[in-house]
Amino acid sequence: MSRFKCLAAGLALALGISSAAQAADPLKAGFVYIGPTGDHGWTYSHDVGRKEVDAKFGDKVKTQGIENVPETADAERVIRDLATKGNKLIFATSFGYMNQMEKVSKAFPKTIFMHATGYKTGKNLGTYDVRTYEGAYMLGVVAGKMTKNGKLGVVGSFPIPEVIRNINAYTIGARSVNPKVSTRVVWVNTWFDPGKEREAALTLIAQGADVLMQNTDSPAIVQAAKEKGVYAFGWDSDMSKFGDKAHLAASVLHWGIIYNETVEKVLAGTWKPTPIWYGVKQGAVNIEAFGPAVPADVKKLAEERRDGIKAGTLHPFTGPLKDQAGKEFLAAGKSMPDSDLAKMNFYVEGVEGTVPK
């Protein structure tokens, strides 16, 4: 799509059909993506958010997305390039861009940098994230009800706090309705490789898992589940097209809420580098696209939990919670503070195996 626009813009310029000068120059906003926008997962969901900005602000904003940017020195070059080309607002959408964002943000003090899922902030460097674990928890509730043998599987990308938190939330959700559930994890060490994601899913299925969740970016796992007659979930976006009856539900991210709010603040000149961590409450994550295999009462239960999170009466990480060794790390009635959630590096009771070091 953006390619067409570039082409169209280029043609318009070449033919001298440039439109009348705008009253004010549009705010240029650049988006740095880890994968292709066609991944139907993480990057796709960010690009949906970018398009919501386009739709809402029209001429006032000019957005641009750069795909497949590796989390290496290349990222610094891309971010620097965006800033040099007059983008006054830059969103970088993967954890691994953190140091590059910090470095470039210091070189361009008048540009606003927003880094997804990171924790480093500065005068002009903010962070934003979605409480994906709330989605994982709701999927876990469905998984706990739907599993026949109590064996859940998760395909993980990298053992970082965000992903470990999601595995734990999924397990806690499942055990809240079915205390016998246990979760096995296979790490693929990539965010996006449909082949490997499929292989990892088949591995978990071969070892008995009958409901899968993934913290990777393609729908390959949903397809593998369908092929083998087990269940899976859409992650980041609705993946029901790939799973038919195997697709139980999806945890869908709505980045547009954060993007629209940020653009609005930047345009109004009221932006501050306050860390944003939005969840079900703000509408940034939701459980959607329930499949035909999910009975009405299970769907109702999941939606009740969602409403509880929305109302603030339910927190997925509420004690008593135990770690793998059976030691209580959260006392009854207490909820885990964000600071502890942000650095979670251990599995809760019910997850098998050990966190790779």
- What is the contact surface with another protein in residues (CB under 8 A)? 1, 3, 35-40, 44, 67-68, 153, 184-190, 192-200, 202-204, 206-207, 218-220, 223-224, 227, 241-242, 352-354, 356
Tokens of 271: 């932006």
Whole-angstrom Cα distance, residue 115 to residue 102?
Answer: 9
Of the pair 196, 299, the CB lying nearest another protein is at 196
Of the pair 172, 188, the CB lying nearest another protein is at 188
Of the pair 111, 216, the CB lying nearest another protein is at 216
Least distance in angstroms from the C-beta of 261 to another protein = 28
Least distance in angstroms from the C-beta of 344 to another protein = 20
Q: What is the DSSP string of 69-108?
A: --SSHHHHHHHHHHHHTT-SEEEE-SGGGHHHHHHHHHH-
Comparing CA positions, the residue from 238, 243, 230 lying closest to residue 289 is 238
Least distance in angstroms from the C-beta of 185 to another protein = 7
Amino acid at residue number 345: N
Tokens of 248: 């139980």
Least distance in angstroms from the C-beta of 346 to another protein = 15
Q: How many CA atoms does the CB half-sphere of 2 hold within 13 Å?
A: 16
Of the pair 176, 237, the CB lying nearest another protein is at 237
Whole-angstrom Cα distance, residue 281 to residue 285?
Answer: 8
Of the pair 4, 296, the CB lying nearest another protein is at 4
Least distance in angstroms from the C-beta of 357 to another protein = 9
Least distance in angstroms from the C-beta of 279 to another protein = 27
CB-based contact 97:122 (threshold 8 Å): no
Of the pair 40, 254, the CB lying nearest another protein is at 40
Of the pair 230, 276, the CB lying nearest another protein is at 230
Amino acid at residue number 86: G
Of the pair 104, 204, the CB lying nearest another protein is at 204
Least distance in angstroms from the C-beta of 121 to another protein = 29
Q: Does residue 18 sit in helix, strand or coil?
A: coil
Least distance in angstroms from the C-beta of 2 to another protein = 10
Whole-angstrom Cα distance, residue 122 to residue 46?
Answer: 23
Whole-angstrom Cα distance, residue 75 to residue 77?
Answer: 5
Tokens of 280: 């079900």
Q: What is the DSSP string of 198-240?
A: HHHHHHHHHTT--EEEE-SSSTHHHHHHHHHT-EEEEEES--H
